[in-house]
Structure 1
Amino acid sequence: MRILIFGINYAPELTGIGKYTGEMAAWLASQGHDMTAVTGLPYYPEWEIHDGYKKKWWVKERIDHVNIYRCPLYVPRKVTAVKRIIHEFTFLLGMLPVWLMLLFGRKYDLVLCVSPPFHMSILPLIYAKIRGVKLVTHIQDLQVDAARDLGMIKNKRGLDLMFKVEKMIFDASSAISTISPGMQRKIMAKNISPSKIIQFPNWVDESVINPMQKIHSLRNEFGIDQDAKVILYSGNLGEKQGLEVIVDVAKSFENQKDVVFVIVGCGGGKEKLENLVKESGLSNILFFPLQPYDKLAPLLAMADLHLVLQKQSASDLVMPSKLSAILAIGGCPIVTAIPGTSLYDIVFKHRMGILIKPECADSLKEGIELALKTDLTEYSTNARRYAEQFLSKEKVLRHVEASLEELIGKSSTPAQAVHEKQPERIEKVQALSQPAFKIAEKI
């Protein structure tokens, strides 16, 4: 297949959407497919253009057998709703010359557009219509829903317009792919046929991210005692996560010298979080920068508990990609989720974590206290098993490949046969005998 990918984020970004888009393109190229990607200059999650790309405009390069066109874009130091809109709009402008060049170039079999930004698909859609090729819109976040529910955009007319543009894109797409049953339900609620939706989760390379002993973790490098109880949050420090609750809870453990909270990562909310810790005078919260991929397994292995936190209003609008690596390492996550969401259902059904109320310091405190005095071996075992069975990079990307080939009529094997064991169906989990953990009963 000849595949043209459009997406604002791409490798070498270490986390988030860019990581998955880059890995997918590289994997498909390794299978002999002709891959081209149109993307921005790398900036995430630091919100700063990476070294090697600063003061550059348009860049063409070839990495992992993928032809990459990088386009200029405005990257704000401090992210606000208005600045994010400008950021995304400038990428569309920067992408226009490359889009025009490709429009009159060779024909591709399929165009795959990664959202967010939700309006990213407008130019790819026009390309697909003019050139007569299939368009797949891949949804990592339901951006407009999240902007409304998180209160980032409050103008009703503006939101109505964005929802209309989103619906136009969905209707015009040959297929819509997304990463969780909850997002699939949300898309179907927009009057989109389920037959048009392809579901595949964000994967993990379980051969690289696997369980290891704490002695081999980053505890020594970070100066953390081997006997300490480490509660780790690693990932984007943004607005959707509601990370302020960590500071509130850490106050309750201030006198327990063997308990330490570790926050690793960067993002738009990091400065605010650091200021909260400083104002509180807490010494049991440690900050470290984002670690390179080859240190991800040792980083995760140092934790006794992993925090997977989101605001309640983000439920089922975003699926935390960090969870895949936590499960692969055999970690025990404490997850904020409400019943009926994909995140809750998956953790609940497979008994591989602790479920608590979102944005509730008391619930998080109680969950941590209970977990620290409980044998979590069963949850760790279940987590690793789930990652191997449902999140394997090779299995998921085989399913992606088969789905795309089937869409353009080149598949000899139906996609369902390649990936016939889906982790969750569209129906809600029903009649489960016991909750994932006692604290879940209080949600």
Structure 2
Amino acid sequence: MSDGERHRPFEGRRLLVVSTNYAPEVTGIGPYATQLAEHWAQSGARVRALTGLPHYPSWQLDEAYRSVWRTVEVRGGVGVHRRRHYVPSRQSALRRAAFEASVLATGLLAPPPGRPDAVVAQMPSLAGGVIGARIARRHRVPYIPVVQDLMGAAAAQSGIRGGDRAAALAAAAERYALSRATLVGVIHESFVPRVTALGVDPGRIRTVPNWTHVQGPTADRAATRARLGWDPATPVLLHSGNMGLKQGLEVLVDTARLAPDLRVVLMGDGNQRDALRARAEGLPNVDFLEPAGAGEFTDILAAADVLAVTQRASVLDMSVPSKLTSYFVSGRPVVASVADEGGTADEVRRSGAGVLVAPEDPAALLETVRKLAADPVAAGELGAGGPAYVARRLSREAGLARFDDLLTEALDGRGSARR
């Protein structure tokens, strides 16, 4: 194979990436779909992306797209086909179903033109998985869904209103989408039993971990803290990312209530932000920050003393937060208030960059944060495990190479699609 063939392995291939989330969204799965599509475009493929309108994590339409119904953009060499859909500002099973139905309808009624050589879909959304399966079946081409979250399990475990009914419907949609796949990608091996239970042969499942899609911190840590108004003597516990139901962020507010000498910072957006603000009313040691831009994001993470990842105790095997890859690159210790037997706990243990505490237990969380704040040397050593883990397992190059292998295997016919 020539150097040119190695660097442009998909020259002339026509690829369709289906992902409800895409740039300019900077958190969640959008950055992964974007970087993957642009990587394949740089590898010589003709890539189209079928996506929705930017709305995450605020669950409000981006101002620039409020009057848009259907549009095509070119981003990073990718033709991005956007379709309008319903965006629920508050979450319930009924509203989520309406969101998925609107994504499904607009995606199926107006897919990008032309016949792709392969279809790759990010799940969630459920609708994206079904759309990908239908388009691939129509053209009789390989189909590869990538499971980022399991929505059936999420509905059952996250506490969403009407979740039990939604769980059955979501699992049926997941079964439909996954059973028709040539190969199935999962971002963590803890998803394999659930995916297998949905009717997928374990021999068709491949683990393709997310990678760190942000750059490491560059700013002076003390200067960043001063700019943010954080007292050098006050420990800062920071959570970044989506403020949704499954995160169970109430534990952070309740931790702040127990410790007036601790500053708790919630950076991001989501449908539970207003409820968390109300819960934190009267607590001067709780701050809410807007999502940070790419230029300062990891600098803010690195300025904190401890980074928090939280999940409800019921969340076990349906999600591994994408925020972990950014946390690890920042070099700060992670405290994970999550179920011990879940995929998130597995990832924190594997990294060597964090400590596990019981979920929904403010006292246990506070005790661990105090220990780390009292021993900066030990905290620094623990945090240093994050960048080392990124270099060892979560680099962008390694992550994209795994997807190259997955796509190559599907195109070569080594998977067995069900059509």
TM over 0.5, shorter chain: yes
Deviations 1:42-84 (A, max 9, x none): 1111211112211111011101000011001111232332212
Aligned equivalent of 2:75, options 41, 47, 63 = 63
| 1:90 partner SS | helix
Query: 1:286, CA displacement in angstroms?
Result: 1.0
**1:297 corresponds to which residue?**
298
- The answer to whether residue 396 in structure 2 is matched with residue 393 in structure 1 is yes
**2:352 corresponds to which residue?**
351
**1:214 corresponds to which residue?**
221
Q: Is the 8 A contact 2:103 2:127 kept in 1?
A: no
**1:48 corresponds to which residue?**
60
Letter in 1 for 2:19: G
Distance 1:157 1:330, change over 3 A: closer
Distance 1:112 1:181, change over 3 A: same
Q: Partners of 1:244 and 1:158 in 2: how far apart? A: 24
Deviations 1:330-356 (A, max 9, x none): 110001233332322332244311100
- The answer to whether residue 387 in structure 2 is matched with residue 381 in structure 1 is no
TM-score of the superposed pair, with normalisation by structure 1: 0.85
- The answer to whether residue 191 in structure 2 is matched with residue 183 in structure 1 is yes
Decide which moves more: 357-366 or 263-272.
Answer: 357-366
Query: 1:147, CA displacement in angstroms?
Result: 0.2
Query: 1:153, CA displacement in angstroms?
Result: 5.8
1:126-275 to structure 2, matched below 5 A, reads: 126-152=134-160, 154=162, 159-205=167-213, 208-210=215-217, 213-217=220-224, 219-254=225-260, 256=261, 259-275=262-278
| 1:346 partner SS | helix
Letter in 2 for 1:321: S
Query: 1:212, CA displacement in angstroms?
Result: 5.5
Q: Is the 8 A contact 1:231 1:306 kept in 2?
A: yes
- The answer to whether residue 37 in structure 2 is matched with residue 25 in structure 1 is yes
Percent of counterpart pairs with the same letter? 28
Aligned equivalent of 2:92, options 80, 96, 99 = 80
**1:324 corresponds to which residue?**
325
Aligned equivalent of 1:37, options 45, 49, 69 = 49
Distance 1:51 1:155, change over 3 A: closer
**1:313 corresponds to which residue?**
314
Aligned equivalent of 1:91, options 103, 107, 127 = 103
TM-score of the superposed pair, with normalisation by structure 2: 0.90
Letter in 2 for 1:352: A
**2:337 corresponds to which residue?**
336
Gaps of 5+ in 2: 1-12, 415-419
Q: Partners of 2:222 and 2:167 in 1: how far apart? A: 51
Deviations 1:363-415 (A, max 9, x none): 1122112222222132122111001111101111011112211211199xxxx
Decide which moves more: 339-348 or 157-166.
Answer: 157-166
Query: 1:359, CA displacement in angstroms?
Result: 1.1
Decide which moves more: 398-407 or 66-75.
Answer: 398-407
Gaps of 5+ in 1: 412-443
Query: 1:137, CA displacement in angstroms?
Result: 0.9
Deviations 1:148-202 (A, max 9, x none): 2234365766644442332232211111111111112321233422221121122
